[in-house]
């Protein structure tokens, strides 16, 4: 095969990466620089130059990526179909099945998934709750990500003194059964290659060329496996981007790629810096932020594409205006080529609600729609029962969640006694017919539900968000969902907090609860065919590998993105890399939104722009929104007051406000209400209004006019 025509289509650095041989090679491939093309052409070119395709091992992280690499390489050279192109785990399974006896496994071993792990641990430790068992299963997986056995120092995983013995018992029983889990597919092959000279030598002799894609996503165990797969005679080439390492929560270790030249002495580095995706102005914004990271090898993307329109920073009043702004941007082009990005899944709710009501087609990538998520449905069931204690469907969902020792038969006996429909009375009537344990659990649950209903009737809480939060805590649902694994638990709590934010717009009254539940039903019940011209709603993490003509990065507020204001240096650098990934998804147009106020736990709080926005030179961007006249300091109050110190609020300065406390006002969207407070904040008048509907909202009259009206006392 003549590869000259293929090589002629590469730029000079791409060609250098393809033609390189000899020393270990690190290809630093920036976003949109054509790295998949380079690695597939490299495989085909090696074969065209006489390399035995069976001596080539190429590994990546997903089946989709491995299949794409295999297909593209085979299109370039038919011999590439004989190369081994797999995921890390698939290669590990292949190696173990061919050498099963050497590690004490039957060749027909099964691979346990996460649920299987939990089930096995549950049988070994029946005294522990399922949540505790899940925690130990996660810790075992984490230990294997570090390449640690039960006999190693397990301090990187945690300080639980019982964990080493639990890990040892689990491992011993898994071996007795003759199965492995996913962590074993990396750990056991590494131990086999390092500890068995004959097998290790044979495998290294076969695979003289080892290529690794997306190396920035590798964990410590995978790095150790790579070391065990190679020796001084191997040709090792890894491809990745240290600026796109964003999966530390999954065990990825960015130091693997940064320290590759130290791990493999004599390494040559080729930087793919020409970007074929984005405009020049978008790339400048990405570089301005990520270049502040200390833990990077360094590169700067450039492009022959036009500079295009400057990215826009829109500083808006609140998340309602944020949704309005995004909707306006959508109307200026094709929604199907637009993606709205956010840091957490919970942030999708406001967009889903607005788009459903506005008839705007949308698709959510990587997760369920907001009101279809388990924890949200649990919370809504709790509210529905609070509103209507005759609702058997809602009771059945929450009565034994979290587990209280109330089985299906007990629930059936309760429902049998719901003569007049009152399920609280039915619970009490069923207790004498239950076991002592079940009866006690039912009585305790009944008391909890009665207290929540009583709090609603007594007006104990001002806002419905307060009632909801108290109910989630009292029912145990908050803690139940929080105690999922580190990532899923955080996401579930964020979703519950977002539901509280939605509830915060309603008073904690029976009418307020009914109105809220009705709004949820209308939103969750609305169905639409997303179609081809649908806007994409997606978290920043899920955008990796995707691209869109227009990208809107929302929620650029401190505490949201970055998600905490006091992150440790490593976490902050990963958040900055996540921003870089988000920005470089955009081909032609980039918008970033931040708000002056947001609902947090159902209440309006002041917010400040993300520090990342202040890291962008102001001459690289344009500003939109009422609060973006300039570019300030994150330590300052207003986004538009350069270098200022916090201005704070000044109620005294508002004494002459045209909207004094107690006066009546009218707003087109909210209706009639009464002013609760007027403040001067950062030199601008802020008015807090309690509306007749029970909703409370803040306004800057300079930008959102309020009409003075007379309200009878």
pLDDT > 70 in the chain, percent? 92
Q: Check pLDDT > 50 for residue 287.
A: yes
Type and span of the H or E element at 446? helix 436-458
* pLDDT for the residue numbered 590: 98
The listed CATH number (2.60.40.10, 3.40.220.10, 3.40.50.300, 3.40.720.10) that belongs to domain 12-99+191-274: 3.40.50.300
* pLDDT for the residue numbered 304: 97
- Cα dist from 422 to 413, 419, 471, whole Å: 14, 7, 20
Is 35 annotated in some ligand binding site? yes
Type and span of the H or E element at 62? none
Q: How far apart are CA 266 and CA 438, in angstroms?
A: 68
163 band by pLDDT with thresholds 50, 70 and 90 = very high
Under 8 Å between Cβ of 323 and 351: yes
pLDDT > 90 in the chain, percent? 72
Give pLDDT tens digits for 537-591: 999 999 998 999 999 999 999 999 998 867 889 999 999 999 999 999 999 999 9
Active site residue 213: yes
Least confident of 123-127, 339-343, 623-627: 623-627
Q: Is 439 strand, coil or helix?
A: helix
Quickly count helices (H) and strands (E) in the chain: 27, 22
Choose the catalytic residue: 145, 181, 184, 213. 213
Q: How far apart are CA 130 and CA 122, in angstroms?
A: 7
Give pLDDT tens digits for 41-96: 999 999 999 999 999 999 998 888 999 999 999 999 999 999 999 999 999 999 99
Active site residue 36: yes
Say if strands 664-667 and 707-709 run parallel, antiparallel, or are unpaired: antiparallel
671 band by pLDDT with thresholds 50, 70 and 90 = confident
Average pLDDT value for residue range 112-118: 90
* pLDDT for the residue numbered 630: 45
Average pLDDT over the chain, rounded to an integer: 89
Give pLDDT tens digits for 679-712: 776 667 888 787 776 566 777 787 677 888 887 6
Residue 614, both tokens: 């202040």
Active site residue 35: yes
Residue whose structure tokens are 């190696």: 95
Residue whose structure tokens are 């788009």: 355
Is 34 annotated in some ligand binding site? yes
* pLDDT for the residue numbered 167: 97
Average pLDDT value for residue range 289-306: 96
Architecture of the domain made up of 110-177: Orthogonal Bundle (1.10)
Q: How far apart are CA 709 and CA 671, in angstroms?
A: 11
Is 586 annotated in some ligand binding site? no
Give pLDDT tens digits for 627-658: 664 434 443 333 443 332 223 444 444 457 78
Choose the catalytic residue: 40, 230, 244, 595. 244
**Which range among 21-30, 351-360, 419-428 has the greatest average pLDDT?**
21-30
Active site residue 318: no
Give pLDDT tens digits for 314-342: 999 899 999 999 999 998 988 999 999 99
CATH number of this structure's domain 285-369+529-624: 3.40.50.300
Active site residue 40: no
Nearest to residue 92, comparing CAs of 100, 80, 104, 101?
100
Max CA distance (Å), the chain? 93
Residue whose structure tokens are 């990963």: 574
| Fold observed for domain 370-522 | PCRA; domain 4 (1.10.486)
* pLDDT for the residue numbered 681: 67
Q: How far apart are CA 660 and CA 425, in angstroms?
A: 50
Is 32 annotated in some ligand binding site? yes
Give pLDDT tens digits for 185-224: 999 999 999 999 999 999 999 999 999 999 999 999 999 9
246 band by pLDDT with thresholds 50, 70 and 90 = very high
Same fold, 12-99+191-274 and 110-177: no
Q: Check pLDDT > 90 for residue 290.
A: yes
Length of the chain measured in residues = 713
Residues 6+ away with beta carbon under 8 Å from 641: 630, 632, 647, 682
Task: Kindly report the backbone phi and psi dihedral angles of residue 36, in degrees, each rounded to the nearest multiple of 5, phi listed first.
Answer: -65, -40
* pLDDT for the residue numbered 634: 40
Euclidean distance between the first and final Cα of the chain, in Å?
90
Write down the domain spans for the chain: 12-99+191-274, 110-177, 285-369+529-624, 370-522, 663-708
Choose the catalytic residue: 15, 35, 384, 587. 35
Q: How far apart are CA 600 and CA 501, in angstroms?
A: 6
């Amino acid at each position: 095969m003549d590869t000259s025509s293929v090589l002629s289509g590469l730029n000079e650095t791409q060609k250098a990466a393809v033609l390189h041989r000899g020393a270990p090679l690190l290809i630093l491939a920036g976003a949109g620089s054509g790295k998949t093309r380079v690695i597939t052409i490299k495989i085909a070119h090696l074969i065209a130059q006489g390399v035995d395709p069976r001596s080539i091992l190429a590994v990546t992280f997903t089946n989709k990526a491995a299949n794409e690499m295999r297909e593209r390489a085979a299109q370039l050279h038919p011999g590439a179909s004989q190369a081994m192109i797999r995921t890390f785990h698939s290669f590990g399974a292949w190696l173990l099945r061919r050498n099963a006896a050497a590690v004490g496994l039957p060749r027909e071993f099964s691979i346990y998934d996460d649920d299987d792990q939990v089930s096995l641990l549950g049988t070994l430790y029946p005294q522990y709750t399922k949540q505790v068992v899940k925690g130990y299963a996660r810790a075992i997986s984490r230990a294997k990500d570090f390449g640690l056995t039960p006999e190693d120092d397990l301090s990187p995983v945690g300080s639980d003194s019982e964990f080493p013995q639990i890990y040892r018992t689990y491992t011993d029983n898994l071996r007795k059964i003759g199965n492995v889990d996913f962590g074993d597919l990396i750990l056991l092959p590494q131990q086999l290659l390092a500890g068995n000279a004959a097998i290790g030598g044979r495998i290294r002799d076969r695979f003289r060329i080892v290529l690794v894609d997306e190396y920035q996503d590798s964990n410590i165990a995978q790095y150790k496996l790579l070391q065990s797969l190679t020796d001084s005679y191997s040709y090792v080439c890894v491809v990745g981007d240290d600026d796109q390492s964003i999966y530390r929560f999954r065990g990825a270790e960015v130091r693997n790629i940064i320290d590759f030249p130290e791990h493999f002495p004599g390494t040559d580095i080729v930087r793919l810096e020409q970007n074929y995706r984005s405009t020049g102005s978008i790339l400048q914004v990405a570089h301005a932020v990520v270049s502040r990271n200390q833990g990077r090898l360094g590169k700067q993307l450039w492009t022959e594409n036009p500079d295009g329109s400057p990215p826009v920073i829109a500083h808006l009043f609140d998340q309602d205006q944020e949704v309005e702004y995004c909707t306006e941007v959508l109307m200026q082009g094709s929604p199907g080529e637009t993606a709205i990005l956010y840091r957490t899944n919970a942030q999708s709710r406001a967009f889903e609600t607005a788009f459903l009501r506005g008839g705007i087609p949308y698709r959510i990538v990587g997760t369920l729609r907001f009101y279809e998520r388990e924890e949200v449905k649990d919370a809504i069931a709790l509210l529905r029962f609070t509103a209507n204690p005759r609702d058997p469907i809602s009771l059945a969902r929450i009565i034994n969640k979290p587990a209280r020792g109330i089985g299906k038969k007990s629930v059936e006996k309760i429902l049998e006694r719901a003569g007049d429909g009152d399920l609280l009375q039915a619970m009490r009537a069923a207790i004498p017919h239950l076991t002592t344990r079940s009866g006690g659990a039912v009585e305790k649950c009944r008391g909890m539900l009665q207290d929540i209903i009583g709090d609603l009737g007594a007006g104990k809480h001002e806002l419905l968000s307060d009632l909801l939060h108290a109910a989630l805590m009292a029912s145990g649902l908050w803690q139940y969902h929080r105690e999922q694994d580190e990532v899923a638990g955080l996401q579930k709590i964020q979703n519950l907090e977002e539901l509280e934010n939605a509830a915060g717009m309603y008073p904690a009254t029976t009418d307020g609860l009914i109105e809220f539940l009705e709004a949820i039903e209308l939103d969750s019940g609305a169905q639409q065919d997303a179609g081809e011209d649908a806007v994409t709603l997606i978290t920043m993490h899920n955008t990796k590998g995707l691209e869109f003509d227009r990208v809107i990065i929302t929620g650029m507020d401190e505490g949201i993105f970055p998600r905490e204001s006091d992150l440790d240096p490593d976490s902050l650098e990963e958040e900055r890399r996540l921003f870089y990934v988000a920005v470089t998804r955009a081909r032609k147009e980039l918008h970033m939104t931040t708000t002056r106020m947001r609902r947090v736990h159902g209440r309006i709080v002041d917010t400040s722009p993300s520090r990342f926005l202040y890291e962008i030179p102001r001459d690289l961007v344009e500003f939109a929104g009422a609060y973006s006249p300039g570019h300030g300091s994150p330590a300052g109050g207003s986004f538009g007051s350069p270098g200022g110190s916090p201005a704070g609020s000044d109620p005294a300065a508002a004494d002459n406000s045209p909207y004094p406390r107690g006066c009546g006002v009218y707003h087109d969207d909210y209706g009639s209400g009464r002013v609760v407070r007027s403040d001067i904040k950062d030199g601008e008048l802020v008015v807090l209004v309690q509306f007749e509907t029970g909703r409370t909202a803040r306004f800057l009259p300079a930008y959102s006019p309020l009409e003075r009206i007379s309200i009878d006392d």
